[in-house]
Amino acid sequence: MSDKNPPQRHISAQAQSEDARLAGVLRPQRLSEFVGQEKMKANLAILIEAAQARQEPLDHILFHGPPGLGKTTLAHVVANEMNVNIRITAGPAIERAGDLAAILTNMRAGDILFIDEVHRLGRAVEEILYPAMEDFVLDIVVGKGPGAKNVRLKLPKFTVIGATTRLALLTAPLRARFGAAYRMDFYELEAVEDIVARGAAILGVPIEPDGAAEIAHRARGTPRVALRLLRRVRDFAQVRAEGQITQETAVAALTLLEIDPLGLDELDRRVLLSIIDKFGGGPVGLETIGASISEEPDTIMDVVEPYLLQLGFLERTPRGRVATPHAYRHLGRTYVAKAGSEPPPQLPLFEG
C-alpha cells in the first residue's frame, strides 16, 4: 500500500535538519564569542590557560543549571580552546558498563568526553567511570564464574565534562570526582539582546535594536529559547514584513506563537491555570499537576518550573506547588488570601 503523504513528511524532515544546522551555525566556537556567564567564563579561562601552560589535560568539569543555557555549547568551546577532540554521549545512551568501556578505550590523550544528562548514568556504569576519572584506568572482568579474572587497563589522561539539569540527582561519589563545578544561571536581558543581535547577523537577517529587545524580553533569559524565537520571527518577517525584524514585527510574530510579554508560553500557562483553577492555587503535588494537563512531571520540573520560580509565580512547599499572587495577577485571576497568610510584597515587574 503506497504512502499517501510522503512529500509532507519529507518537508518535515528537511525542516528539522535545517533547524539543527542553524543551531550549529549559531553556536559560538570560542570563549570570546560566548556571551554572558561572565564569572564562569573568567574561571574557565584561567583553568584552560593553566592546563595549557602545564601541557596537561583539563581537570574534569561539571556544568549544571536549567536547560538551554549553553552547557553543551561550552563543552564544545572548551574543546576548541584546548584544541582537542570531543566525544559526545548522554547518560541514558550508556546502558551497560561495556558501552562505556568501548568509549573509554577509544579516547586519546587530552580528549574530552562530554556526558549530557550525567545524572542518568546507571550505577554499574558509574562504578566503571570512577577509576577512569580518578586514576585513568579501566577495570574489566574477563570470563565468568571461578575462572573470571579482573584486568586493569591503563587509559590516556582525558577530561570528562558532565552536564546536568538535576544536580541533586548526581551521586556524591561522582560529583566529588569533578574538579571544577560551575552553575549556569539565567542570562541578563542585555546578554540575551546581544545573543539575538549576533544570531541575526549570522543568519543575515536585518533587525532593529527594538526588535532584538522584544525577542530578548520574551526569551526567558535562555539563549536556546532566544535563538529559536529569532528563527520563528525571521520566518514571519520574511512572509509578512519584507524580511526586516522591527519591534512591531516581533510583537506580531510572538503573539501569533502565543508567547506573552514575560515569555510564558502555552505550557507555562496551562501549569499555572491548573494549579489556580483546578486546585485552588495549591499546594498540589507535581504528579497531580502533570496528570491534570497530560504532561510528564519531569518536563514540568525541568522545563517549566525554573523560570516560574525565577519570576516569583510559583513556590515549592513541603506539601506541593503553590501559585503566588503575582501569577494570579498576570493571568487575570482574582487572588483571595487564605487564612493566616501574609500579604505578598509588591513586584513592579509584574504590574499591568
In a domain, 13, yes or no: no
Q: Are residues 339 and 194 in the same domain?
A: no
Q: What residues contact residue 261 under an 8 Å CB cut-off, 6+ apart?
A: 217, 218
The candidate with the shortest Cα–Cα distance to 70, out of 29, 110, 42, is: 29
Which CATH number belongs to the domain containing residue 325 in this structure? 1.10.10.10
Q: Total domain count for the chain?
A: 3
Lowest-confidence region among 58-72, 132-146, 285-299: 132-146
Is 224 a catalytic site residue?
A: yes
Residue with cell 549530557: 116
Residue pair 318/311 in contact by the 8 Å Cβ criterion: no
Rounded Cα–Cα distance for residues 275 and 45 (Å)? 44
Asked if the structure places residue 173 within a domain, the reply is yes
CATH of residue 244's domain is 1.10.8.60
* Mean pLDDT, rounded, of the chain: 83
Residues 6+ apart with CB under 8 A from 70: 34, 36, 37, 184, 223, 224
Domain hosting 237: range is 189-256
Question: pLDDT (tens digit, 9 = 90+) per residue, 109-123?
Answer: 889 999 999 998 888
Write the DSSP symbol of residue 207.
Answer: B
* Alpha-carbon distances of 221 from 9, 88, 203, 248, rounded to whole Å: 33, 26, 21, 21
Are 213 and 66 members of one domain?
no
105 with 239, same domain: the answer is no
Q: In terms of domains, do 133 and 66 share one?
A: yes
174-215 pLDDT, tens digit per residue, is 899 898 999 998 899 999 999 999 988 888 889 899 999 999
pLDDT at 350: 42
Do 250 and 159 sit in the same domain of this protein? no
Task: Return phi, psi of residue 243, to 5°.
Answer: 85, -10
pLDDT higher than threshold 50 for residue 12: no
54 plus 118 within the same structural domain: yes
> Strands, E, within the chain: which ranges?
61-64, 86-90, 112-116, 137-142, 149-154, 159-164, 180-183, 314-317, 320-323
How many CB atoms neighbour CB 230 within 10 A? 29
Please, are residues 121 and 168 in contact by the beta-carbon 8 Å criterion? no
Residue 48 and residue 58 in contact, taking contact as beta carbons nearer than 8 Å: yes
Return the CA Rg of the chain: 24
Q: How far apart are CA 174 and CA 254, in angstroms?
A: 42
Give me the mean pLDDT over the 288-298 stretch.
88
Active-site residue flag, 3 = no
Do residue 288 and residue 328 come from a single domain?
Answer: yes
Q: Is 249 assigned a catalytic role?
A: no
Dihedral through CA 147, CA 125, CA 59, CA 41, nearest 10?
Answer: 170
In a domain, 10, yes or no: no
Q: So what's the pLDDT on residue 6?
A: 40
- Same domain, yes or no: 154 and 218: no
Q: What is the pTM of this model?
A: 0.79
Which one-letter amino acid corresponds to residue 36? G
Residue type, 81: E
**300 shares a domain with 153:** no
Return the percentage of the chain with pLDDT > 90, whole number. 25
pLDDT score, position 317: 87
CA–CA distance, 67 with 71 (Å, rounded to integer) = 8
**pLDDT band for position 43 (50/70/90)?**
very high
Residues 91 and 158 in one domain: yes
- Nine cell digits for residue 254: 510572538
The answer as to whether 162 is a domain residue is yes
Paired residues of 58 in beta bridges = none
Domain boundary among 157, 183, 209: 183
pLDDT (mean) for 21-49: 84
Pick the catalytic residue: 72, 164, 249, 324? 72
CA pair distance 26, 219, nearest whole angstrom: 16
pLDDT of residue 11: 39
Catalytic residue among 111, 116, 265, 268: 116
Residues 199 and 171 in one domain: no
Q: Which of 158, 183, 208 is the last residue of a domain?
A: 183
Let me know if residue 261 belongs to a domain.
no
Q: Which pLDDT belongs to residue 9?
A: 37
Chain segment 89-112, per-residue pLDDT in tens: 898 888 888 888 888 888 888 899
3 part of a folded domain:
no
Active-site residue (options: 177, 218, 224, 228): 224
The reply to whether 176 and 36 lie within a common domain is yes
Q: Is the pLDDT of residue 2 over 50?
A: no
What is the per-residue pLDDT for 145? 62
Residue 72 annotated as catalytic: yes
Contact 38, 151 (CB under 8 A): no
Q: ∠333-336-340 over CA atoms, to 5°?
A: 150
235-253 confidence digits (pLDDT tens): 898 888 888 888 899 999 9
Query: Is the pLDDT at 336 greater than 70, yes or no?
Result: yes
Domain-embedded: residue 7: no
Give the pLDDT confidence score for residue 351 in this predicted structure.
41
* Sign of the Cα pseudo-torsion (198, 203, 208, 213, in order): negative
> Is 6 inside any structural domain?
no
Q: Domain boundary residue among 256, 276, 296?
A: 256
Residue 136: give its domain's CATH number: 3.40.50.300
Q: What local confidence, expressed as pLDDT, does residue 4 receive?
A: 43
